[in-house]
Amino acid sequence: MKLLIDAGNTRIKWALVNGEDWLCSGILPAAQAAKLSRHIAGHLAPRYLRRPRTGLHDIQQIWVSNVAGEEIAQHIRNIGAGKSGQPHFVVAREAQCGVRNGYSNTSQLGSDRWAALIAAWHLVQGKCLTVNSGTATTIDTLSERGEFLGGLILPGVDLMQRSLVAATVQLKSTQGEYVPFPLNSADALYSGAIQASCGAIERQYTLLNDASAPVVLSGGAAGLLQPYLNQKLFSVPPRVVDNLVLQGLLLMAQEANA
């Protein structure tokens, strides 16, 4: 069995996979990373897996995308202190799983972006826009030959709002709603973050200059952004795909073990 871990700045997402079967998965706030081993072990109980003797000792490999720093990396290493050995912390390569990396410094491309691109290529097998929206929103482009052409990084929906509240004396942190023409500050903050995110996706899609290319959305805010995208731009509606980074990690693991 393989344990896949997507460690982001806000959340740690994980899945336990046996072959092609996704046995169980979970999400833990990054601030609670010290509880990661116990959190995963709790999900390996028989009521979740219907496998009465499954435990952390049954994990043979751990594959990780970590963009959250060394402290969280150490908590992940603690899981692999037994039979599974040291986790595989992935780093972007020049080429992997059919995708070629066009970044000026190959290894500086975030491991989460690299894994998401690999998963998107596996799904689409063609030109596409890959959007991963969490703490940050990344908008990356693949060519019809699986070449990473480049991408954008901007603050995620929540981070945009928190940054403005932190830097502006008169704004307060209250949850707003999306409205086209906001008439209060909370709605203005929330709607502005949605519009900025969707505008960046739509502009990048326009620059792609191919109305037939699909858009793959993932991350915690994917479902939030999808309804507000201008559907008239796309010949195929933008598609929300859960756990794109984890899917990419599994593809990397499968290629390494082939």
Taking the model in full, what pTM does it have?
0.92
DSSP E strand boundaries for 168-211: none
> Which parts of the chain have pLDDT scores under 70?
45-55, 80-85, 258
Residue 48: predicted pLDDT: 47
pLDDT in tens, 47-80: 445 555 556 777 889 999 999 999 999 999 988 6
235 shares a domain with 133 = yes
What is the pLDDT at residue 164?
A: 85
Count of residues in the chain: 258
In the residue annotation, 6 being an active-site residue is answered as no
- Write down the catalytic residue from 6, 58, 112, 242: 112
Q: Cβ atoms within 10 A of the Cβ of 147, count?
A: 16
174 shares a domain with 131: yes
Task: Count other C-beta atoms under 10 Å from residue 213's C-beta.
Answer: 20
Number of structural domains found in the chain: 2
Same domain assignment for residues 150 and 80: no
Residue where one domain finishes, among candidates 68, 89, 110: 89
In a shared domain, residues 144 and 224: yes
Q: Is the residue at 257 inside a domain?
A: no
Confidence (pLDDT) at 58: 78
CA distances from 225 to 136, 195, 200, 221, 244 (A): 13, 9, 11, 6, 16
What would the pLDDT profile of 65-123 be if each residue is shown by its tens digit? 999 999 999 999 988 655 556 899 999 999 999 999 989 999 999 999 999 999 999 99
Does residue 222 lie in a domain region?
A: yes
C-beta separation of 23 from 1 below 8 A: yes
pLDDT reported for residue 46: 54
Please report, for the domain that includes residue 80, its CATH number.
Answer: 3.30.420.40
Same domain for 219 and 179: yes
Distances (CA, A) of 180 to 52, 137, 165, 202: 53, 22, 21, 17
Position 51 scores a pLDDT of 53
What domain range is 185 assigned to? 95-246
In angstroms, the CA 33 to CA 189 distance is 30
The predicted pLDDT at position 45 comes to 61
Q: Which of 64, 89, 114 is the last residue of a domain?
A: 89
| 239 & 111 share domain | yes
Residue 231 lies in a domain: yes
Q: Interior CA angle at 54 toward 52 and 56, to 5°?
A: 150
Predicted local confidence at residue 47, as pLDDT: 47
Could you tell me if 78 and 199 lie in one domain?
A: no
